[in-house]
Amino acid sequence: MFQAIPPADAILLKLTLHALSDEECLKVLKKCREAIPGNGQGKVIIIDIVIDDKKDEHEITKAKLFFDLLMMVVVTGRERSEKDWKKLFLEAGFSNYKLTPIFGLRSLIEVYP
């Protein structure tokens, strides 16, 4: 299903991983990890939804949960909390990440080898 990815300084995944199951997401992240140099120069940049019901306003959380239902009904994916994302990153072989909420429902997640 997946082919080898040539070495890259950065890989951008925008609203892609939320449509995938945890197993499929892990496969993609592992391939990304293989393609990122281990010298600390590269990273994976993910723009996706991160559910944070403790920090987000109620209406934002409701919208994110609506997308979660949509992902479960239409495809095999789901919206994830920061804890869910961290688990996937660590299982894929990454050592660190930085999460920054951006405009609207999305967050910018930088994942490092």
Q: Give the separation between CA 23 and CA 56, rounded to whole angstroms.
A: 27
Q: How far is CA 58 from the centre of its chain?
A: 22
Quickly state the pLDDT bin for 8 (edges 50, 70, 90). confident
Q: Would you name the residues annotated as active-site residues? A: 18
pLDDT score of 101 more than 60: yes
- pLDDT tens profile 39-81: 778 899 999 989 887 777 777 777 777 677 777 777 778 889 9
User: Which domains does the chain show, CATH number per domain?
Assistant: 10-112 (3.40.50.150)
Tell me the pTM: 0.83
- Sign of the torsion formed by the C-alpha atoms of 2, 25, 105 and 10: negative
Location of structure tokens 């987000």: 56
pLDDT score of 1 more than 60: no
pLDDT score of 97 more than 70: yes
